[in-house]
């Protein structure tokens, strides 16, 4: 069975990301793969506090070991990100920076939201994912405050995003399966 995590990359009060992540989970509910929602609020990681680089795999702190165990259990990821100041959220970047091997040779996809659809956040996340040896799929889903939110707060996604999500899941599941052999080697 293919296990994919939907990682909600915002912990702000009154965040829009929770509604977006719930929408992603609902869209994924009929898929063959298993999709679980991981809220970074449930994994409070301080700013990276490990004494050695994550690529060494020598995690000293209990919160890091728990985070590593959580991420290691998944074959792929959907990152749900807001766009803050032309980039992703600090909490999502920090969560990615904590680990290394647990991300390697896994596939990922992006769902973003913001005034410009979160596209600049995804642009940065693609570079980060590449450095973590993750294969990111082409299809992404981008929600704008103008078109997909009422008064920039009530999430009302346009119907066109349903097909975009299914294409994204198709690509993600395909790459996740292809990378299974790489991870086994």
Q: Convert the pLDDT of each residue in 109-119 to its tens digit.
A: 999 999 999 99
CA dihedral 117, 90, 39, 137 (to 10 degrees): 50
Class of domain 3-184: alpha beta
Task: Give the number of C-alpha atoms closer than 13 A to the C-alpha of residue 124, restricted to the C-beta side.
Answer: 17
pTM, 2 dp: 0.97
- Of the candidates 74, 73, 86, 151, which has an alpha carbon nearest to the alpha carbon of residue 112? 86
Instruction: State how beta strands 107-114 and 34-39 pair.
Output: unpaired
pLDDT of 153 reads 86
Give the CA radius of gyration of the chain: 16
- Model pLDDT for residues 32-84, shown as the tens digit of each residue: 999 999 999 999 999 999 999 999 999 999 999 999 999 999 999 999 999 99
Name 78's bridge partners: 6, 109
- Model pLDDT for residues 74-85, shown as the tens digit of each residue: 999 999 999 999
- Model pLDDT for residues 146-173, shown as the tens digit of each residue: 999 998 889 999 999 999 999 999 999 9
């Amino acid at each position: 069975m293919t296990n994919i995590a939907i990682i909600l990359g915002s912990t702000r009060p009154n965040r829009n990301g929770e509604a977006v992540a719930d929408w992603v989970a609902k869209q994924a509910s009929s898929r063959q793969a298993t999709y679980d929602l991981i809220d970074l609020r449930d994994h409070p990681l301080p700013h990276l506090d490990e004494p050695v680089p994550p690529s060494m795999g020598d995690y000293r702190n209990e919160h890091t070991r728990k985070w590593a165990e959580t991420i290691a259990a998944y074959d792929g990821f959907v990152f749900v990100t807001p766009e803050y100041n032309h980039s992703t959220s600090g909490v999502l970047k920090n969560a990615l920076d904590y680990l290394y091997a647990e991300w390697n040779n896994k596939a990922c996809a992006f769902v973003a939201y913001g005034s410009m659809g979160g596209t600049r956040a995804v642009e940065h996340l693609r570079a980060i994912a590449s450095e973590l040896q993750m294969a990111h799929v082409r299809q992404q889903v981008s929600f704008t405050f103008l078109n997909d939110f009422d008064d920039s707060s009530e999430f009302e996604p346009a119907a066109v995003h349903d097909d975009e999500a299914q294409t994204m899941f198709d690509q993600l599941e395909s790459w996740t399966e292809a990378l299974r052999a790489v991870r086994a080697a």
